[in-house]
Amino acid sequence: MTSATASAVGVAAAAMVATLPGRTHGLGLVTEPLLADLGLSRVSFAALNFWATLIGAAFCLPAGWAIDRLGVRVVLGVVLLGLGATVVAMAGVSAGGQPVALAAPEVFFGGGIEWSAVPLDLFLLVLLTRGLGQSALSVVSLALVGKVSGRQPGLVIGVYSFLVALGFMAAFATVKAVFESLHADWRSVWGGMGWILIAFGGLALILVREPRPPEQPTDGESPWAAADYSMMFGAALATPAFWVFGIATSFYGMVAAGMSLFNQSLLAERGFDRDVFLTITTATPLVGLAANLAAGWLATRLRLGVLLAASLLILCGALAWFPSVSTLPQVYAYTGLMGVAGGILTVVFFTVWRQAYGTTHLGKIQGAAQLLTVLASAAGPLVLAAGQRAYGSYAPVVQNLAVAAGVLAAVALITPLPIPARTEDPDE
């Protein structure tokens, strides 16, 4: 890995960590105190999160378009500045603002549609954090590392995933320390994140450089390594692999989003307190570190479909076991399984788009893939919240998700990546 590639990978990893306030994992850190402060129910908040995430997904495709035309530096800096300003504004939201009624569809549980009133300003701000953070900034990060990952992307993506997990772990540990040692409230923590993002946005506009184009392939190497052999956007969407990999990784995103937003409540149902929740939130990325590096190495030797299937089977086992978890060692083991599944799946998601479709239209292709994951993550918290209320427990809905993971693993195992038959016009 050259110094330029290493620098780009570091910037891409930092950008992905900066999406934290726009992700369910980040919002989950302040969900309980925010609900208590603003007097919101979990289903109301799940409805707000559902629509904010759903609408925010629309930022994915414009972000990919902007990257392909304006470059990474401009888009990265502008998105960071916008996300930071939004997070700072969200820290000042109040309970007495103008309400807006949002529908909470519960068709999966026979509950029809329930309308919930939530503060309009909170809804709009969460929407912007989702659109700018989870959607646009994630696309920027993925496109940057995809453009510099070279002819053997597995190892580069493994390092990138390792750095992302390390960054998230550090961020979670910092938030935990601020809550426990400084006894800060959620507004102070959220506002502090916003100002840090604004500072990073300014630095990105000044210091970040555009990634160099990939080298042309030599004889015997994959033709997808060169931009001239990149698949066009429409052709990529027509391949089964795009939808199988996109839906499978999006399913994991749905599960992770729901269980992250209500993780404290899920653990409380199993008899564990907030300290266990905070410790697990900090430790889970650590488990993912080893999985990231191992998956990056395995990606150079195994089909990505095999890795995807393996991660889904591990996820299936963890979800099926969760309703039986009752001791601290068990909850740590369950967390470890979830971390391994997430670590492998992350590497697969970061790797597959460049390896399968090339670099010329990578921004748009990854934008479409990210759109699927955002739409799925929008539904995750609602599935968990509505399921818990319908069944009186999280256990049945978690077990149903385990079955779905097993089915997706079987499909992933038999789905091949596209094989280039000819050189396509990169200019469409």
Domain boundaries, the chain: 3-413
Q: Which residue has the higher pLDDT, 257 or 341?
A: 341
Radius of gyration of the chain (CA): 21
Average model confidence (pLDDT) across the chain? 82
Please tell me the predicted confidence (pLDDT) of residue 212: 67
Residues 6+ apart with CB under 8 A from 13: 141, 145, 160, 163, 164, 167
Residues 6+ apart with CB under 8 A from 80: 15, 18, 137, 197, 198, 200, 201, 204
Please tell me the predicted confidence (pLDDT) of residue 428: 42
- DSSP label at 249? H
Please tell me the predicted confidence (pLDDT) of residue 320: 92
Quote the CA–CA distance of 148 and 278 in Å, as a whole number: 35
Asked whether the beta carbons of 375 and 274 are under 8 A apart, the reply is no
pLDDT above 90: residue 202:
yes
For residue 343 the two structure tokens come to 């670590």
Q: Which residue has the higher pLDDT, 31 or 180?
A: 31
Quote the CA–CA distance of 335 and 245 in Å, as a whole number: 24
Comparing C-alpha atoms, which of 211, 164, 96, 104 is closest to residue 345?
A: 164
Q: Kindly report the pTM of this predicted structure.
A: 0.69
Average pLDDT of span 263-278: 76
Average pLDDT of span 226-252: 83
DSSP string, 68-109: HHH-HHHHHHHHHHHHHHHHHHHTT--TTS-EEEEEEE-GGG
pLDDT band at 129 (very low <50, low <70, confident <90, very high): very high
Top-confidence range, 190-194, 216-220, 345-349, 369-373: 190-194
Average pLDDT of span 188-205: 93
High-pLDDT (> 70) share of the chain, %: 87
Does domain 3-413 correspond to CATH entry 1.20.1250.20?
Answer: yes
pLDDT band at 410 (very low <50, low <70, confident <90, very high): very high
Quote the CA–CA distance of 308 and 243 in Å, as a whole number: 13
pLDDT above 60: residue 109:
no
> How do residues 301-345 score in pLDDT, each as one tens digit?
888 899 999 999 999 999 999 888 888 888 888 888 888 898 899
